[in-house]
Structure 1
Amino acid sequence: MYAITIPEPGGPEALVWTEVPDPVPGEGEVVVEVVASAINRADLLQRQGFYDPPPGASVYPGMECSGRIAEVGPGVTGWAVGDEVCALLAGGGYAQKVAVPYGQLLPVPKGIELVHAAALPEVTATVWSNVFMVAHLRPGETLLVHGGASGIGTMAIQLAKAVGARVAVTAGSAQKLERCRELGADILINYHEQDFVAELKQATDGAKADVILDNMGAKYLGRNVDALAVNGRLAVIGLQGGTKGELDLGKMLAKRAAVTATSLRGRPLGEKAAIIAAVREHVWPLLENGQVRPVIDRVLPMADAAQGHQVLEEGGHVGKVLLIA
């Protein structure tokens, strides 16, 4: 088969489409013939040499895919050759085939194209596990999403609205904020021109955010705590703004607030399977009835993955960038 390899860390040009050995399914795994994959920021970090795959995972980038099951390994139940699926991966999505633990498979939702289903596993698992399983967003509460026009942001807006929450977003342009509004965002904040703490306070009559989904990390830590409501919950899922920040425990105590930080890629298989099961139960019906949909910025040939990485680095996209195998 062919896959995107990274012979040496570097810029987008470091991605090389080359022939490699086919994967073999292990115990509890299937091999998926990949139709499409999607680009995530973790892939950019891996390409740069900053984010190695977990032990035992494929060395090729790509943390989600859609396709058809080509082989079923020992110990697999509930899936058969030919099933159309999408999957959460620890790596290997930028390839024509990938081996996947069967607990990380999802059926393609009714009404969603097979190619577009590649945009779903990572964002739905990330948003559902953090916003709902960890931070317990409830109807009537306010969610603040940083990077509202990203793949994760566009999914977070829709899921929060589907459960009856109010949504505030930050984004870097009027065009991106308009797309967020179209998806249901109620409070629109241009982070280049506005202070999100002040804007959120004004828009909520001082109540602020019950839950914050943050992709920035250290750069936003202090202001995120300021933006939390009493009993607020901050879920950190990215470190684009650095890894080390100062946390004012006095403010945390006064607000009875909580800060969590999670990632998906390195979790044990059982934890991933539990998240995928929750996504299938709670998110898939919303996709199938049309309340929620994948937001696709563009679709590129997988051999042109370097172009897709450049798109993410430039930051002008809205939603997901897909790669067709």
Structure 2
Amino acid sequence: MKALQGVKGELEWSEHSVPACGPGEVRIRVAAAGLNRADLLQKAGLYPPPAGVVDILGLECSGVISEVGSGSRWQVGQRVCALLAGGGMAEEVVIDERSVMPVPEGLDLHQAAALPEVYATAWLNLFQLAGLQPGEKVLLHAGASGVGSAAIQLCRAFGNPCWVSVGSAERLAYCEALGAEGGALRGESLESLRDFAPFDVILDPVGASYAKLNMELLGEDGRWVLIGLMGGREAALDLAQLLVRRIRLIGSTLRTRDLAFKGQLLESLVDKVWPLFASGALSPQLEAAYPIKDAEAAFAALASNQVSGKLVLVIDPDLS
């Protein structure tokens, strides 16, 4: 099979051995794979896969099951999407069946490839780790990103007013169309977010450069969920504020979680979130689908920070 790797900062679509399908596993003929910032970092050599995980790029994919191992609950021919620790940008992938979800009703395989990573991230961090309750206010940094787009829609669906920080007026308008109440532009000043504070939950992929402001924007019993370090890793904090206002700082990564944890998370997604696609309350927000031969262009587009929503790579154009 062919698969995509990042080698010394370059992308290589090359031949790889075909993995065997063991008990409790499924083989997926891949239709498309979602592109995430983690793929950019791995390509650059800054985010190696966890121990024991293949170095093929791709944290999510969609396709059709072509083989099942003994004891699997899945069947050959089912249309599925999957959350992976790596390996999704390949013609085939073999994974534990707990990593697999059905394609939501009404969606095609390209749209489905854009769902697992961002919806799992948003659902885990807002509703499970932060324990978001109806009516609580949310601030989403990088609100027009894939995770931000998912989070805005989930907040709207579950009764949580949300605000965003974004890079342009166009991206703010995009977020407001999805359901955000408003927000602030990075290039100007985030100080205007104070007009909407205090927030109950902040979802933060930025880190150090927003740390001081985050502390000031949170209310009593606020939860600051840190999921990335785009703005640096070291910050000075007034820890007294954590004590006085009972603020919780929650560090969270998904890629390195074990299969049991991920399996339970995906079961919750299928139960609580997937029906909302069929009803129209949620949408994939797929900005563009690139053929695999244009992978470099797709990676460059994501790196430009101008993408609103998600990008996917089409691996097999005969599957949709």
TM-score range, shorter chain: over 0.9
Other-structure match for 1:130:
125
Distance 1:54 1:202 in 2: 41
Aligned mate of 2:157, from 154, 162, 174: 162
Q: Report the more deviating stretch, 21-30 or 33-42.
A: 21-30
Other-structure match for 1:293:
283
Distance 2:19 2:34 in 1: 19
* 5+ long unaligned stretches in structure 1: none
Other-structure match for 1:268:
258
Distance 1:72 1:57 in 2: 20
The CA deviation at 1:25 is 1.8
The CA deviation at 1:94 is 0.8
Distance 1:303 1:97 in 2: 17
Task: Tell me if 1:109 matches 2:121.
Answer: no
Task: Tell me if 1:69 matches 2:68.
Answer: no
Distance 1:9 1:208 in 2: 45
Other-structure match for 1:186:
181
Give the ranges of 4+ consecutive aligned residues of structure 1 lying more than 6 Å apart after TM superposition. none
- What SS does the aligned partner of 1:58 have? coil
Q: Is the 8 A contact 2:183 2:193 kept in 1?
A: no
Task: Tell me if 1:321 matches 2:315.
Answer: no
The CA deviation at 1:303 is 2.6
Aligned mate of 2:194, from 197, 201, 222: 201
- Structure 1 9/26 Cα, relative in aligned 2: closer, same or farther at 3 Å? farther
TM-score scaled by structure 2?
0.96
Task: Tell me if 1:24 matches 2:20.
Answer: yes
- What SS does the aligned partner of 1:15 have? strand
Other-structure match for 1:54:
50
Distance 2:307 2:281 in 1: 22
Task: Tell me if 1:258 matches 2:248.
Answer: yes
Q: Is the 8 A contact 1:200 1:209 kept in 2?
A: no
CA RMSD after TM alignment: 1.1
Identity of aligned residues (%): 43
Other-structure match for 1:86:
81
Distance 1:287 1:128 in 2: 14
The CA deviation at 1:99 is 1.1
The CA deviation at 1:89 is 0.4
Q: Is the 8 A contact 1:4 1:303 kept in 2?
A: no
* 5+ long unaligned stretches in structure 2: 316-320
Distance 1:243 1:24 in 2: 40
The CA deviation at 1:56 is 2.1
Distance 1:24 1:178 in 2: 47
Matched to 1:246, the amino acid is: A
- What SS does the aligned partner of 1:231 have? strand
Distance 2:293 2:39 in 1: 15
